[in-house]
Structure 1
Amino acid sequence: MNTDVAPRLGGRRQTWRLTAAAAVGVPVWLNTGVLLRWQGHEPGSWFLVGDPLVALGCLTALVWRRRFPLAVAMTVAIASTASTSATGAVLLALVSISTRRRPVEIGAVVLAFVTGAQFSVGLYPIQSPPGSWWLQLVLPVLAAGIAVAVGAAIGARRVEVRSLRARARSAEREQAARAAQARALERNRIAREMHDVLAHRISLVAMQAGVLDHRGDLAAEESRVLIRGIADGSHQALEELRDVLGVLRADPGRPEPPQPSLDRIPELAAEARSLGVDVALTCTVTGEPSDALGRTCYRIVQEGLTNAAKHAPGAHVHLALEGTAGDMLRVSVRNSRGTASIAPPPASGFGLLGLSERVTLAGGQLDHRPTTDNGYLLTAQLPWPNRHSEKRA
């Protein structure tokens, strides 16, 4: 709620309640005056002036009933003994103290009110019918009971409203946290896809450009092959980038373009060979993995080839894939020491980090370390659940 609106609403509620309390006290005061005249008594100056002034003082004190609830309620209950027109004020004080739902405080104020009501009977010389003493006790108790019940109900309602508001705020915070987490995960996913798509292609393009820069003895045909490879690699990088952006911007009803999987790894190795990378592929995979598992395996091999091309140009690269459905899918990318002397392309530093996150999300393990022959080994183990077991479960 607006901070400027809340005080105005609070002030209106305060005025309305005090007006209602005054409206309850006025009929009691008038009834007392009528009874006095009916029994032949002339209302004195206290009835005409003192009684309303005490009621006004009680109403004024009620303004601070929330800051000093017990003190204000006790003061109004005791002061109401000397004023019939303060009946509405003392009932409002009882309602207010009852909203706190503290039995000791409520009992003390009720006792003060009922006791004061017995003394206020003798304030004016009104003769009561014989045997009506019990009414003088029951009526104040009944009025106090109604006020306490109303106050307790209001207090319970306030507690419930506060609880609902707290839960609503908590739900909003949790929703905001989940939305922020979803955005972060989506950014990470987009970053991984962009890196996987561009890093491999651009690294091969940079390697070919480095060969052109460092090899001045190349024949015209060899130069044309490298230039054609640079052009084709750049074109393919743009095509794959367009596919990624198309997935991000696609309509919900439009099917996503096919993502690379395990069956495209031989194409990845053949493409690397066509660009001059010495790649050997060994595949002993039996079964067809899921699309997510195949895509993760493809990205591991792609990152391994990209790192080998960047950091060990001219090295021999051996790819090994093995696994069976219901067990594990193991991927290994091993390269020897590089032999070409070309300047390495700039490294992003996020390739293995993003790959580690991808493998962790798949429930697998990733390991990468230098080998004893100054090469490098990248291995990954991915769980491969049996599809038939998943369907039965």
Structure 2
Amino acid sequence: MTERREHEYHWALPSVLLGDDTDGRPARRSTRDWIVDLAMFVAACGITLLTASELPGVPGPLVVVEQVAGVLACAAVWLRRRWPLGFALVVTALSSCLALVGGAAVVGLFTVAVHRPFRISGPFALFNLVMLVPYVLLRPDPELGRAGELVLGVAIVLTVFAWGIVVRARRQLVWSLRQRAAIAAGEARRLERERIAREMHDVLAHRISMLSLHAGALEFRPDAPAEEIARAAGAIRDSAHLALQDLREVIGVLRHPSSAPDDPVPDRPQPTLGDLPALVEECRRAGMEVTLSMTGADPPQVPQGLGRNAYRVVQEALTNARKHAGGSPVTVTVSGAPGEGLTVEVRNPLRAQQSSRIPGAGAGLIGLVERVELAGGRLKYGAAPGGDFRLRAWLPWTP
């Protein structure tokens, strides 16, 4: 999809005159457009004045025609943006017999070469070469002769046409690079939105499942001692505050004002492998039976990105266990070493699974697979020998 859209952007420009809207309607000239048009007008007038030396030998009535045609042709240069091909065809046809129209004809050839694709500008350049023949036959130069004048005319046409092609190619390149940059920026924004969405799911699903767990305990044990009810209510309050804080931090990232498009967006504080014991302890306080084993992976030595991904794997696995296997013991094992990778395994008995009262979008494990694969790792989950549900992730650990 991206390649096709980029291809369409790249070929949309040649069919539209630069300085016009994309629908072909004339746009207001910018300051640069006015400067360029003024330069083209001055160039046409200058070439016309240089060719005026050929008029002394011309009959009187023809001199008047030459002068009127030259003035009108130079004035018509200001219309080249609205009707580039029509303007160029008229002045080029007139230049086949009138000398003072030559300056406007040169500007018309350059305009068509810059603003029209080669399938149009190429035949038009050939038309210019053909129009040289009647001019050389009707107005031979006494010093150069017909052959010398024809060679000079061909050289001028080819030079102006080549110059216009180079200018067009450069503009297309600049435009294409800008479009590529815009596409890349859009892709970066899309990836950032996906990353924030995964972050919101990982964090809020954990917090809300903890809320549901504590609220369920109050629902099923209304006759519990006052101390237990107060403790559960306090846990619900703390989980709600933490969920609101996490949501506020994520929204703060989305609303971050950036003075420039390339300014980095500050990231919210991210958990690492060292925060895993605190996560397990929080789940234990909520009534889960969780066993944590960490071998070979010293948290301070684990890179932050790797530790964050491992933490999110365990967090989502514990959230999933709370939803679908409430009351069953959960075993979390983290092991690995630099060079061989970090392995995270979470197991809980399938036989203890029960219908969940906690609703879910069903995208937690799918998002977890995407997260692990983006990090270059692998993740598998499902029933394991022995009647357990096992989630196993391997993440690369570069020494």
Whether these two folds match at TM > 0.5 is yes
For 1:139-158, list aligned pairs within 5 A. 139=145, 141-158=147-164
Q: Confirm or deny that 1:267 pairs with 2:278.
A: yes
5+ unaligned residues in a row in structure 2: which ranges? 1-18, 21-25, 77-82, 114-120
For residues 101-140 of structure 1, the C-alpha deviation after alignment (integer angstroms, 9 at most, x for no partner) is 789766644444333335xxxxxxxxxxxxxxxx736255
CA contact (8 A) 2:109 2:161 kept: no
Letter in 2 for 1:32: G
CA distance in 2, matches of 1:258, 1:72: 69
Give the corresponding residue for 1:328.
341
Note the C-alpha offset of 1:370.
3.5
Letter in 2 for 1:299: R
* Secondary structure of 2:336 counterpart: strand
Could you say which structure has the larger radius of gyration? 1
* Secondary structure of 1:32 counterpart: coil
| 1:188 paired residue among 194, 204, 207 | 194
| 1:367 paired residue among 370, 373, 380 | 380
Give the corresponding residue for 2:79.
none
Give the corresponding residue for 1:117.
139
Give the corresponding residue for 1:136.
142
Note the C-alpha offset of 1:168.
1.9
Q: Confirm or deny that 1:276 pairs with 2:297.
A: no
CA contact (8 A) 1:325 1:384 kept: yes
Between stretches 351-360 and 67-76, larger displacement belongs to 67-76
* Secondary structure of 1:303 counterpart: helix
Give the corresponding residue for 1:170.
176
Between stretches 195-204 and 337-346, larger displacement belongs to 337-346
Between stretches 245-254 and 162-171, larger displacement belongs to 245-254
Give the corresponding residue for 2:313.
300
RMSD: 4.2
* Cα 1:275–1:72 shift into 2, 3 Å: closer
* Cα 1:363–1:174 shift into 2, 3 Å: same
For residues 223-262 of structure 1, the C-alpha deviation after alignment (integer angstroms, 9 at most, x for no partner) is 2332232223223334444555566659989997753211
CA contact (8 A) 1:20 1:88 kept: no
CA distance in 2, matches of 1:170, 1:179: 14
CA distance in 2, matches of 1:260, 1:91: 72
Letter in 2 for 1:315: S
CA contact (8 A) 1:76 1:90 kept: yes
* Cα 1:19–1:221 shift into 2, 3 Å: closer
5+ unaligned residues in a row in structure 1: which ranges? 34-46, 81-85, 119-134, 387-393
Note the C-alpha offset of 1:290.
0.5
For residues 302-343 of structure 1, the C-alpha deviation after alignment (integer angstroms, 9 at most, x for no partner) is 100011011111111111111111102111111123758785
CA distance in 1, matches of 2:353, 2:174: 64
Letter in 2 for 1:296: N
Letter in 2 for 1:49: P
Q: Confirm or deny that 1:88 pairs with 2:104.
A: no
Between stretches 8-17 and 322-331, larger displacement belongs to 8-17
Give the corresponding residue for 2:9.
none
CA distance in 2, matches of 1:233, 1:314: 20
CA distance in 2, matches of 1:331, 1:351: 17
Give the corresponding residue for 2:304.
291
Relative to the length of structure 1, the TM-score reads 0.72
CA distance in 1, matches of 2:174, 2:211: 54
Letter in 2 for 1:368: Y
For 1:4-83, list aligned pairs within 5 A. 4-5=27-28, 28-29=54-55, 31-32=56-57, 47-49=59-61, 52-53=64-65, 66-67=85-86, 76-77=95-96, 80=97
Letter in 2 for 1:153: T
Percent identity over the alignment? 32
Give the corresponding residue for 1:127.
none
Q: Confirm or deny that 1:316 pairs with 2:338.
A: no
Relative to the length of structure 2, the TM-score reads 0.71
* Cα 1:325–1:115 shift into 2, 3 Å: same
Letter in 2 for 1:337: L
Between stretches 151-160 and 300-309, larger displacement belongs to 151-160
